[in-house]
Amino acid sequence: MNYKHIPVMLNEALNYLDPQPGQYFIDCTLGGAGYTVAIAERIGPKGKIIAIDLDKMAIENAKFQISNFKFQNIILANENFKNTTKITKKYFHKKKVDGIVFDLGLSSAQLADRSRGFSFQLDTPLNMSFGCQMSDFGCRTTEDIVNNWKQEKLEKIIREYGEERFAKRIARKIVECRELKSIKTTGRLVEIINQAVPDFYKRKKINCATKTFQALRIASNNELENLKKTLPQAVDLLAQGGKIVVVSYHSLEDRIAKNFFRQESRGCLCPPGYPVCQCEHKQQLKILTRGIVAAGKEEAAKNPRSRSAKLRAAEKI
């Protein structure tokens, strides 16, 4: 199997997770299994790691990769990580875990896969769902979104998830074009974006389709909602002293992780001025990273994907 993905900030993630022999872990984003295998090696034969991925291709690749692995300590789950509590119950029963890691977004193998439609540089069917049209996993195809969502909703996601200044023009053009003929390929979508934006925007270093593609991918996979739903589950599942690490690749995801870690590292959340606490919120986390951790110069030079990565880590108290 030809699944290519170089793990990003693996050493940094391992340093914070600090896996020890016999411990239990969850890798919510298996991808090319780089993190999973590195953790599995450290926890040894008495430890266990559940590795989750929506993508069958990642699961099949990992099965192949670990077929001769020295320990039988990896459990693969072709699932959405938003169901982490349920998945963990199934395999670990009531046992709490020592670490949970999220390395968000998509892998290089998915980006390069011609059948998936993640790349605006390839002319492929418009899919972009991590779970390949598995509607029961909560993914929808980008083709469905661009051909059926109302103009206002398209504009909103392109503006909010893509932080695209020409969201209104792009959404309007999409709707205008789809009325003539359904939009079915990435190539056609790129043409439409090109028609929608002003000339100066096409001459910028970053391709004018980048932000719209990011927005549509986030919407197709419900990425932000999934993360928001799963972080509280992850903290509940952690044993005292257990670590959580989140690696994200755009500011929207990073903001969710940052705000969640901040909130859970505080006790009372009542507005200032309340004489007595009403919320009964208890501190659950100690933040381990001051600000974000970014990839070092050497890694950034070798692996361009790592340049946008931001790592945050916290410990359950």
Ligand X SMILES: C[S@@+](CC[C@H](N)C(=O)[O-])C[C@H]1O[C@@H](n2cnc3c(N)ncnc32)[C@H](O)[C@@H]1O
- Judged by the rule CB under 6 A, the positions of this chain that interact with ligand X are 5, 7, 29, 31-35, 52-55, 58, 80-82, 103, 105-107, 130, 221, 226
Pick from 306, 225, 290, 215: nearest CA to 258: 290
Interacting residues of 118 by C-beta distance below 8 A, sequence separation 6+: 106, 110, 111, 128, 213, 217
Say if CB 218 and CB 139 are below 8 A apart. Answer: no
- What value, to the nearest 5°, has the Cα angle with vertex 43 and ends 38 and 45? 110
Among residues 87 and 190, whose Cβ is nearest to ligand X?
87
What is the CB neighbour count within 10 angstroms for residue 302? 12
Among residues 58 and 74, whose Cβ is nearest to ligand X?
58
Q: How far is the CB of 162 from ligand X (least distance, A)?
A: 18
Pick from 190, 242, 195, 249: nearest CA to 223: 249
Q: How far is the CB of 149 from ligand X (least distance, A)?
A: 21
Q: How far is the CB of 32 from ligand X (least distance, A)?
A: 3
Measured from each CB, the residue nearest to ligand X is 31
Among residues 47 and 166, whose Cβ is nearest to ligand X?
47
Question: For residue 91, what is the enclosing H or E element?
Answer: helix 84-92
Q: How far is the CB of 107 from ligand X (least distance, A)?
A: 4
Among residues 105 and 242, whose Cβ is nearest to ligand X?
105
Pick from 88, 6, 2, 9: nearest CA to 309: 9
Q: How far is the CB of 302 from ligand X (least distance, A)?
A: 15
Among residues 31 and 117, whose Cβ is nearest to ligand X?
31
Interacting residues of 299 by C-beta distance below 8 A, sequence separation 6+: 8, 9, 306
